């Protein structure tokens, strides 16, 4: 059951304060009321991730999964062949390239 919010508080701001509030709300990605409630409750408010963040995380996760598969293969035979080492280096370089291009 959702909590009822029966109390309304009027807040007057000058133009500068209002612009600042709007900027902070936009940065947070939260609705204004939720942003203000978070401030009152002293919750951490983190900026909304950039639009390509989720795509980059998916790509990096996929590359890390490939690297993990190579490590499992190397552990199963007791050593890493040069091909596995080269593939790990390629994956590491691709991760850094993705990060540099998008951040």
So what's the pLDDT on residue 102? 67
Q: What is the pLDDT of residues 71-95, one digit of tens each?
A: 787 778 777 777 777 877 887 788 7
**Looking at residue 1, what is its pLDDT?**
57
Is the predicted pLDDT of residue 13 greater than 90, yes or no? yes
Residue-wise pLDDT for 15-73, tens only, equals 999 999 999 999 898 999 999 999 998 888 877 777 777 777 787 788 778 778 877 87
Q: Are 82 and 74 in contact (CB under 8 A)?
A: no
């Amino acid at each position: 059951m959702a909590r009822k919010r029966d109390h309304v508080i009027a807040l007057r701001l000058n133009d500068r304060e209002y612009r600042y509030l709007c900027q902070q709300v936009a940065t947070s990605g939260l609705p204004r009321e939720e942003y203000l409630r978070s401030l009152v409750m002293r919750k951490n408010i983190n900026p909304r991730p950039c639009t390509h963040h989720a795509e980059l995380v998916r790509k990096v996760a996929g590359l890390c999964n490939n690297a993990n598969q190579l490590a499992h293969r190397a552990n199963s035979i007791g050593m890493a062949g040069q091909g596995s080492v080269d593939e790990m280096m390629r994956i590491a370089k691709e991760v850094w390239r993705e990060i540099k291009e998008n951040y």
